[in-house]
Amino acid sequence: MSSSGSRRWRSGIPALIAVALVALANLAAVRLYGEIEFWFAMIKVTTIIVMIVIGLGVIFFGFGNGGQSIGFSNLTEHGGFFAGGWKGFLTALCIVVASYQGVELIGITAGEAKNPQVTLRSAVGKGAVADPDFLRRRDFRYRHHLPVE
């Protein structure tokens, strides 16, 4: 949308629309709410996978970098890991903690599952393995793309 097109909207209208959509989703039947959550989670997972693939393409094949592979130079040059000290690490840790918001939805799932003891054990186990794996791959990509300067 161009800047002239964005002037037609008052700044609060998109926010009100978003709040209304979330409220409607929460007022829907639990089955519909679960379905909506599933598809939003699928969008999130798909986006992470696509970003990992694109990031690996930039690292190893130089996509978007004029064909110049970045390689592993950003891991060792410019001070390497912890070049800025603990402050950067702790800031990143806050972002990771905020990224895990939403895990409480497993509790909502327990109320709707036919056999919660089996279903939740499987869901929690898979989530505990998949989420850190996605985050590790994402962080690997970031470390290669962004020099510490």
The dihedral built from the CA positions of residue 21, 27, 28 and 34, taken in this order, carries a sign that is: positive
Number of independent structural domains in the chain: 1
41 located within any domain: yes
pLDDT digits (tens, 9 = 90+) for 25-44: 778 777 787 888 888 889 99
pLDDT digits (tens, 9 = 90+) for 100-134: 666 666 667 667 778 877 777 776 666 666 667 77
Quickly count helices (H) and strands (E) in the chain.
7, 0
Q: Which domain holds residue 65?
A: 29-145
Return the ∠ at Cα 50 (arms to 49 and 56), rounded to 5°: 90
pTM comes to: 0.46
22 located within any domain: no
7 located within any domain: no
**pLDDT band at residue 22 using 50, 70 and 90 as cut-offs:** confident
Provide the 10 A C-beta neighbour count for residue 5. Answer: 8
135 located within any domain: yes
128 located within any domain: yes
18 located within any domain: no
12 located within any domain: no
Q: 65 by DSSP, 3-state: which?
A: coil
